[in-house]
Structure 1
Amino acid sequence: MTQIRHQPVAPTDTRRLASGGAIDAHRHDDHQIVYARRGVLTVTTSAGTWVAPATRAIWVPAGTVHAHQAHGELELHLVGLPATENPLALDVPTVLAVSPLLRELIVAFTRSPDDDSPERARLRAVLLDQLRASPQQPLHLPTPASPLLRAVCDILRADPADGRTLAQLGREVGASARTLSRLFRADLGMTFPQWRTQLRLHVALVLLAERTPVTAVAHRCGWSSASAFIDVFRRTFGHTPGSHPTG
């Protein structure tokens, strides 16, 4: 059995990870805000994967076993908070929108983690206020518990461009479309089309971080055209993939 690393205090600091770099599974007794100013970050737990480009941060509650993965050169900013301090009142990992102001607050706060001046205390208070006001984003790709559902999801993870219907995928794994549809809602809390779109967006963010051209990303992720991909991407992230920050 793999030993999960226990780091009681969640650090507040800045780190750099090369593309493909990782921080292995670990847990803190503190909450943590994880933000990638450059590159795309994925955080994985037993419940699924959360993805965050430079316009998003990830809230990791105290005690959550999690691992980090870098896509593209990653400039990582970490903010640790005591378990008694939960400005978001969230007990599950959550992706948060990062406004330009919140971005600068996080960057400034993690630049001098050992500073205990009154100015830094005021900076921290403003940062927490901005966090409370940050909209939550539906960028979670949940991991299924059902073996049948896991088989379907694994097929699509291997090839996000696979355009087969749920009935066609069901014939491959030995289940009806009705059964699988019910499992998607009961196990993952979303429909099959919603899950597949989330998967494709996750993969698209990783490919964009690797500087893959937009047209190629659309094709590899299963959109019928670059314009269809751009439309979904804009509605999800608020900007086009061509203007997406990669660092």
Structure 2
Amino acid sequence: MQEIRHESVAPTRTQRLASGGEIDAHRHDDHQIVYAGRGTIAVTTDAGSWVAPATRALWIPAGTVHRHQAHGELDLHLVGLPTTENPLGLDEPAVLSVSPLLRELIVAYTRDPDNDSPPRLRLRAVMLDQLALSPEQPLHLPVPTDPLLRELHDVLRADAADNRSLDDLGRQIGASARTLSRRLRDDLGLTYPQWRTQIRLHHALILLADDVPVTTVAHRCGWSSASTFIDVFRRAFGHTPGARPVT
């Protein structure tokens, strides 16, 4: 059984991770904001995976066992918050929208973590105000509890471009499309197309972080054309796949 590190205080700092780098499973007694100013960060818990490019941050509640993985060269900004401070009122991991202002506040606040000067405390107050205004974003890839759905999940994760129908996939794992659809609704609250799109977007973000061309990403993730992929991506994230934040 893997040992889980326990860190009572969630750190506030800036660090760099090479592409593919990991921070192993651990938990804090504090809440934590995780933001990648460059690259894409994936955070995995027992409940599933959350992935965030540079226009998103991750909220990790106190006590949540989680691990990080870097996709692309990563500038990682971590903000620890005591349990008495929960600007979003969230008790589950979540992905948050990061405005240009919030981005600059997080980067500035994590640059000099040992500085408790009055200007930095004022910066912190503004950062918390902006966090309270940050809407959640649907970047969670839930892990199903149903054994059949876990098997289907493994098939789809192995090849995001698999365009077989649910009937065809069901024959492979020994279940009808009707049974799988019902279990998806009961377990995840999703239809099959919704779930498959989440899996594909999750994989697309990872490929984009490794500088794979947009057209290649579209085909590797099962979209019929780059334009279709760009449209789906824009509706999910509010920007095109090729957009990069100003650094």
User: Is TM (by shorter chain) over 0.5?
Assistant: yes
Query: Does 2:188 match 1:188?
Result: yes
Query: Does 2:170 match 1:170?
Result: yes
Cα separation, partners in 2 of 1:134 and 1:145, compared to 1, 3 Å: same
Gap runs ≥5 in structure 1? none
For 1:44, the equivalent position in structure 2 comes to: 44
In structure 1, the residue corresponding to 2:44 is in which secondary structure? strand
* 1:245, distance to aligned residue in structure 2 (A): 4.8
For 2:214, the equivalent position in structure 1 comes to: 214
For 1:92, the equivalent position in structure 2 comes to: 92
In structure 1, the residue corresponding to 2:242 is in which secondary structure? helix
For 2:21, the equivalent position in structure 1 comes to: 21
For 1:122, the equivalent position in structure 2 comes to: 122
CA distance in 1, matches of 2:87, 2:239: 28
For 1:102, the equivalent position in structure 2 comes to: 102
Cα separation, partners in 2 of 1:142 and 1:95, compared to 1, 3 Å: same
CA distance in 1, matches of 2:243, 2:107: 22
Residues 120-146 of structure 1 show CA distances to partners (whole Å, capped at 9, x for unaligned) of: 111111001000000110000000111
After TM superposition, the structure 1 = structure 2 runs for residues 143-162 of structure 1, keeping only pairs within 5 Å, are: 143-162=143-162
For 1:240, the equivalent position in structure 2 comes to: 240
Query: Does 2:10 match 1:10?
Result: yes
After TM superposition, the structure 1 = structure 2 runs for residues 129-140 of structure 1, keeping only pairs within 5 Å, are: 129-140=129-140
User: Is the CA contact (8 Å cut-off) linking 1:97 and 1:136 kept in structure 2?
Assistant: yes
Letter aligned with residue 91 of structure 1: D
* 1:75, distance to aligned residue in structure 2 (A): 0.2
User: Is the CA contact (8 Å cut-off) linking 1:233 and 1:241 kept in structure 2?
Assistant: yes
CA distance in 2, matches of 1:120, 1:244: 28
* 1:189, distance to aligned residue in structure 2 (A): 2.2
Of stretches 140-149 and 230-239 in structure 1, the one that deviates more from structure 2 is: 230-239
* 1:240, distance to aligned residue in structure 2 (A): 1.3
CA distance in 1, matches of 2:201, 2:246: 15
User: Is the CA contact (8 Å cut-off) linking 1:43 and 1:67 kept in structure 2?
Assistant: yes
User: Is the CA contact (8 Å cut-off) linking 1:38 and 1:246 kept in structure 2?
Assistant: no
For 1:34, the equivalent position in structure 2 comes to: 34
Of stretches 14-23 and 186-195 in structure 1, the one that deviates more from structure 2 is: 186-195
CA distance in 1, matches of 2:59, 2:7: 17
* 1:243, distance to aligned residue in structure 2 (A): 2.2
For 1:55, the equivalent position in structure 2 comes to: 55
Of stretches 55-64 and 108-117 in structure 1, the one that deviates more from structure 2 is: 108-117
For 1:113, the equivalent position in structure 2 comes to: 113
Letter aligned with residue 96 of structure 1: L
Compute the RMSD of aligned alpha carbons. 1.2
* 1:246, distance to aligned residue in structure 2 (A): 10
CA distance in 1, matches of 2:199, 2:100: 27
User: Is the CA contact (8 Å cut-off) linking 1:45 and 1:64 kept in structure 2?
Assistant: yes
Residues 191-217 of structure 1 show CA distances to partners (whole Å, capped at 9, x for unaligned) of: 211111011111111111111111110
CA distance in 1, matches of 2:31, 2:112: 19
Q: Percent identity?
A: 74
Residues 155-202 of structure 1 show CA distances to partners (whole Å, capped at 9, x for unaligned) of: 000000001111111111111111111111111122211111011111
**Superposition TM-score, scaled by structure 1 size:** 0.98
Cα separation, partners in 2 of 1:221 and 1:244, compared to 1, 3 Å: farther
CA distance in 2, matches of 1:175, 1:188: 17
Query: Does 2:88 match 1:74?
Result: no
